Structure 1
Amino acid sequence: MVKKNQYLSSEIISKLDNLHIIAKKVVEGFIVGLHKSPYHGFSVEFSDHRSYGPGDEVRHIDWKLWGKTNRFFVKRYEEETNLKAHIMIDQSGSMKYSSHSINKLEYSKMLAASLSYMLIKNQDSVGLYMFGDAIKKIISPRSTQSHLNTLISQMEQMRTSTKTNISKSIHQCAEKIHKKGLVILISDLMDDPKDVLMGLKHFLYKGHEVIIFHVLDPQEIDFNFKERIRFKDFESSNEILTDPRQLKRTYQKKFNEFIDFYKRHCGQNKIDYVSIRTDESLENALSDYLLKRKKLN
């Protein structure tokens, strides 16, 4: 059970201009709000160390840290991490859309940074895959504080591209990941659902667990446009001037079919599917991640 935290509001959080600070505030605020956390003993200070224990060599003790804390810590190694997570962020043109202060890419970056922060603080390793019509950037999984800084720096530099090919990008990513792990896909899924599903099955075939955060703007769901409006396709630059009130019923029928397809097929294939609006608190996404993480333990 999570206690609601006003400081996790996406509107408030987005006013901070540093993604690392955003991630830190979101995660620490979220952890404080947990009544029962699977992260018992969660540490936000020494992600690159663990407590000294039987079998550890004295020469590996970090004496500077001992001087500060009066406790014995040894440096962690990559093989000691619990889980390899691979975060895929969609940076295609449609992710630029926003009906309020945060577009879908900005929200996705805040979510990805918060998940990365939480994973690495729990001694898991995180990799990053940025994609549009293909994989644009790959950062291999690691679990150190310096790696977290690298991930967040790359996220801060992300901008939307133009074209989309989610299924192609997923297949490329699946071929790059050789060891079983957790794949986290953050996207608006604006591509052919059947093709996307085939890509997701590629991950399953290779033994990965998959969680999808389907990031949507409120207007994409509600379609509450009141007057004639010009719609522009961010990826093709095509425009159409129309009265949205005449389209609303047809649009929502098609949109609901789109959502239902993912809910149904993800459920059938044991893929965790989470639909999240950009005006929602990030705590909802973090709660769903923790439920998934608990299943993997």
Structure 2
Amino acid sequence: MSAESYLKPEVLNQIKRLDLRAQMVVRGFLQGLHASPYHGFSVEFSEHRRYSKGDDPKTIDWLVYAKTDKYYVKRYESETNLTGYLMMDLSRSMGFTHRQQFSKFEYSICLAASLCYLMIMQQDPVGLLTFSDKLRANLPARSRRSQVTDLLAQLSRLKPEGETDLGDSLHRVAAMLPHRSLLMIFSDLLGDPEPVYRALAQLRHAGHDVILFHILDESEVHFPYDGPVEFEDPETGQKMPVDATEIRQDYLEAIEEFREGYRERCSKLRVDYVPLDTSMPFDKALTEYLSSRQSRF
């Protein structure tokens, strides 16, 4: 799908409507993640905080001291900005769709574009990372308004293909992120979960916030098949004939167990796990997630 397809008025209107409908929720959600121990070099004054031992005395605001008889230092925009990275799964299985408008990959793109738009409205820089069996294309984190268009243009040139190794890719991301960031991952998670858990633990240990969007096709969640069906593994090409009616219950139990496993492990790691399927409008899905997170903090 081309960038123009994602920039259709109806898609952009959904993204902008999301901002209007969830403006207060999003502001609280993002600003709640803004605390940062790092000092930058921006000259744009943002706010004050009490002076504490170890602060450079040169940063004391003497005008405030004259009024309050207390020491306050200036904080700068770069101290409070949150850098976000959208991390997109490019494995071939992400291109699958049964009867929905968007494939898993296209659905993820709409979610990612929405989050990019919302973060930029908060003047937070956001970048893009893509992966399959290894890290691939990336877009540096920026806060300019054209970043949404740049992100869509970048993704429109990519095609889901090959196998995936999310665990290894996350380990590499953990090694390359220079400071505390917000990592938003979009994947169907079709693979061994154990390496993913270890990599998520590494990211959390380093102080990064992580949101894991588990994107499945509606048919992968609800299994709307009957009788003899031949399934094909999109990443290996292996075909498997089955009686869909006979295996339905076992399949539904297995997929629920798979999602519940991620839910439990992510909860222990304090990683936000967001299970979605492509039957839910992406703006509704994102608003409900942000609202539920806001109510928990």
Question: TM over 0.5, yes or no?
Answer: yes
1:128-207 alignment runs, 5 A limit:
128-207=128-207
Tell me by how many angstroms 1:148 deviates: 3.0
C-alpha distance in structure 1 between counterparts of 2:22 and 2:94, whole Å: 31
Aligned equivalent of 1:27, options 4, 9, 15: 15
Q: Which residue of 1 aligns with 2:231?
A: 231
Tell me how far 1:143 sits from its aligned partner.
0.7
Instruction: Describe the shift of the 1:114–1:235 C-alpha distance in structure 2 as closer, same or farther (beyond 3 A).
Output: same
Q: Judge conservation of contact 1:94–1:234 (CA < 8 Å) in 2.
A: yes
Q: Is the 8 A contact 2:25 2:294 kept in 1?
A: no
Distance (Å, rounded) in 1 between the aligned partners of 2:225 and 2:90: 25
Local SS of the residue matching 1:138: strand
Q: Equivalent residue for 2:218?
A: 218
The whole-number CA distance in structure 2 between the counterparts of 1:183 and 1:273 is 12
Report the Cα distance in structure 2 between the residues aligned to 1:220 and 1:142, rounded to whole angstroms: 35
Q: How does 1:8-23 map to 2 (within 5 A)?
A: 17-19=5-7, 21=9
1:134 and 1:53, CA in 2 relative to 1: closer, same or farther beyond 3 A? closer
Once residues 290 and 129 of structure 1 are traced to their aligned partners in structure 2, the CA distance between those partners, rounded to angstroms, is: 26
Larger Rg, first or second structure (1 or 2): 2
- C-alpha separation in 2, matches of 1:25 and 1:179: 34
The percentage of aligned residue pairs carrying the same residue is: 28
232 and 84 in structure 1: CA distance in 2 versus 1, 3 angstrom threshold: same
- 1:128-169, CA deviations, whole angstroms, 9 ceiling, x for partnerless residues? 111111111122211112333322211222210111111011
Runs of 4+ in 1 over 6 A off after TM superposition: 52-55, 293-296
- TM value normalised by structure 1: 0.76
- SS of 2:225's equivalent in the other structure is coil
Give the gaps of 5 or more residues in structure 2: 29-43, 48-75
Distance 1:233 1:202 in 2: 30
Cα distance between partner residues in 1 of 2:45 and 2:272: 37
Do 1:127 and 1:140's aligned partners in 2 also have CA atoms closer than 8 Å? yes
- Contact kept, 8 Å, 1:81 with 1:123, in 2: the verdict is no
Counterparts of 2:147 and 2:137, CA distance in 1: 15
Q: TM-score, normalised by structure 2?
A: 0.76
Matches within 5 A, 1:101-120: 101-120=101-120
1:86 corresponding residue in structure 2: 85
Q: Can you list the C-alpha shifts for 1:207-233, whole angstroms capped at 9, x where unaligned?
A: 101111111111111112013111011
- CA distance in 2 between counterparts of 1:20 and 1:202 reads 39
Is 1:288 aligned to residue 289 of structure 2?
yes
**Cα distance change on mapping 1:181 and 1:20 into 2, 3 Å:** farther
Counterpart secondary structure, 1:253: helix
Question: Counterpart of 2:37?
Answer: none
Calculate the aligned-residue CA RMSD, in Å.
Answer: 2.8
Q: Using the alignment, how far apart are the partners of 1:226 and 1:156 within structure 2?
A: 35
Q: Which runs of 5+ in 1 are unaligned?
A: 1-13, 41-51, 56-76
What do residues 68-96 of structure 1 show as CA deviations (whole Å, max 9, x unaligned)?
Answer: xxxxxxxxx98377210111011101111
Compared CA separation, residues 18 and 38, structure 1 to 2 (3 A): closer
